[in-house]
């Protein structure tokens, strides 16, 4: 199986044939943009056979879930898996769909595959609770699922980082594979940083943006960085990967240079620098934690 992670190492189609491409309007990047859900639950035509299922995995997302669900309320089906929310997440979700399921937490990849198995639509759009579909993206998706002969698409993602929009660097130039026909792909079982497995299908490129509100505060950024680097280090340890201080340093430096210099993160000013440093820290601590995972396991065995 060929693993597709974001947009790297993909054979990408220049377009998707006769489907009209909708240009992105930068004015729609306003962080407080509201979305009003149309009354029709079918894609502009009640007799349409081109159905779309939205899949979501959530936990304690009451702060942002309404904006997300408002932006996809036009879809035929919304599938939500909640892994133990203690806020109003489940209550809010049930106002949009009856298909809300409460489960344990096996990791990101397995949880997304659970949601995928419950979907019944011809097409699938996988979205996170802190993301929302722009009006332009909605219209482009409708055109794709009605007319396109291709089955797998990547979407550019415009990210708000600590309240500021990023246009450059790794995050600002992010592209994610999220739209696909049901039954042709699945997610890897990775506990974090899951990706999509495919049999080598070409990946079409959507032009319109998926919006993303990644971190609302520095505290959230640091907390999530700590959580994700621990999960990632453990996953690498379980796969027999090794690390050294030299590897931690070089990976951290490369992550900063790639985002800030080679992908022009410096053009975003202060927030571009902050994002690049955060990327470097994530890479550095992922490998440092891997060093200590191995060291602690050796000490436990008494080797």
Give the pLDDT confidence score for residue 19 in this predicted structure: 39
Whether 141 and 264 share a structural domain? no
Mean pLDDT, rounded, for 21-49? 39
Whether 208 and 231 share a structural domain? no
CATH assignment at residue 110: 3.90.550.10
The whole-model pTM stands at 0.82
Q: What is the pLDDT of residues 242-296, one digit of tens each?
A: 999 999 999 999 999 999 999 999 999 999 999 999 999 999 999 999 999 988 8
DSSP string for 157-202: EEEEETTEE--SHHHHT-EEEEEEETTS-EE---SSS--EEESS--
Give the pLDDT confidence score for residue 124 in this predicted structure: 98
Q: Is pLDDT of 49 > 50?
A: yes
Whether 249 and 290 share a structural domain? yes
Q: What is the pLDDT of residues 87-146, one digit of tens each?
A: 999 999 999 999 999 999 999 999 999 999 999 999 999 999 999 999 999 999 999 999
Confidence tier at 48 by pLDDT (50, 70, 90): low
Confidence tier at 177 by pLDDT (50, 70, 90): very high
Whether 280 and 172 share a structural domain? no
Whether 177 and 92 share a structural domain? yes
The C-alpha atoms of residue 91 and residue 242 are separated, in whole angstroms, by 44
Q: Is pLDDT of 234 > 70?
A: yes
Q: Is pLDDT of 2 > 70?
A: no
Give the pLDDT confidence score for residue 302 in this predicted structure: 66
Whether 159 and 173 share a structural domain? yes
Q: Which domain holds residue 297?
A: 218-301
Whether 169 and 229 share a structural domain? no
Give the pLDDT confidence score for residue 295 in this predicted structure: 86
Residue ending a domain, among 214, 242, 257, is 214
Whose tokens are 């899951």? That residue is 194
Which tokens hold the place of 286? 């992922």
Question: Which helix (DSSP H) or strand (DSSP E) does residue 80 occupy?
Answer: strand 77-82
Whether 208 and 275 share a structural domain? no
Whether 44 and 183 share a structural domain? yes
Q: What is the pLDDT of residues 180-218, one digit of tens each?
A: 999 999 999 999 999 998 888 899 999 999 999 999 999
Cβ atoms of residues 113 and 186 within 8 Å: yes
Q: What is the pLDDT of residues 51-89, one digit of tens each?
A: 999 999 999 999 999 999 999 999 999 999 999 999 999
Give the pLDDT confidence score for residue 303 in this predicted structure: 58
Pick from 116, 206, 112: nearest CA to 154: 206
Q: What share of the chain is helix, strand, coil (3-state, %, to 5)?
A: 40, 20, 40
The C-alpha atoms of residue 275 and residue 156 are separated, in whole angstroms, by 18
Task: Count structural domains, the chain.
Answer: 2
Whether 210 and 241 share a structural domain? no
Residue ending a domain, among 162, 186, 214, is 214
Confidence tier at 31 by pLDDT (50, 70, 90): very low
The C-alpha atoms of residue 52 and residue 71 are separated, in whole angstroms, by 14
Residue ending a domain, among 214, 235, 262, is 214
Q: For 195, phi and psi rounded to 5 degrees?
A: -135, 180
Give the pLDDT confidence score for residue 40 in this predicted structure: 34
Give the pLDDT confidence score for residue 209 in this predicted structure: 97
Whether 180 and 296 share a structural domain? no
Whether 40 and 79 share a structural domain? yes
């Amino acid at each position: 199986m060929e693993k597709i992670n974001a947009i790297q190492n993909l054979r990408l189609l220049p377009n998707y044939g006769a489907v009209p491409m909708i240009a992105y309007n930068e004015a729609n990047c306003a962080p407080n943009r509201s979305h009003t859900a149309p009354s029709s639950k079918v894609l502009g035509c009640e007799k349409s056979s081109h159905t779309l299922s939205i899949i979501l995995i959530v936990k304690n997302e009451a702060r942002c879930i309404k904006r997300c669900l408002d932006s996809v309320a036009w879809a035929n089906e919304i599938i939500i898996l909640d892994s133990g929310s203690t806020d109003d997440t489940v209550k809010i979700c049930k106002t949009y769909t009856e298909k809300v399921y409460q489960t344990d937490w096996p990791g990101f990849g397995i949880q997304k595959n659970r949601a995928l198995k419950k979907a019944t639509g011809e097409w699938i759009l996988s979205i996170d609770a802190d993301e929302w579909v722009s009006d332009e993206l909605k219209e482009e998706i409708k055109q794709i699922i009605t007319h396109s002969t291709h089955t797998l698409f990547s979407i550019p993602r415009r990210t708000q980082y600590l309240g500021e929009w990023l246009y450059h660097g790794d995050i600002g130039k992010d592209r994610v594979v999220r739209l696909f026909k049901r039954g042709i792909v699945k997610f890897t079982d990775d506990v974090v940083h899951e990706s999509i497995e495919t049999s080598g299908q070409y990946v079409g490129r959507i032009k319109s943006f998926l919006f993303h509100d990644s971190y609302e505060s520095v505290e959230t950024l640091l907390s999530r960085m700590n959580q994700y680097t621990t999960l990632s280090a453990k996953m690498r340890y379980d796969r027999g990967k090794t690390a050294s201080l030299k590897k931690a340093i070089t990976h951290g430096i490369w992550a900063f240079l790639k985002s800030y210099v080679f992908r022009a993160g410096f053009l975003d000013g202060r927030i571009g620098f902050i994002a690049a440093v955060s990327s470097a820290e994530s890479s550095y601590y992922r490998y440092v934690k891997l060093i200590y995972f191995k060291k602690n396991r050796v000490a436990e065995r008494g080797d």
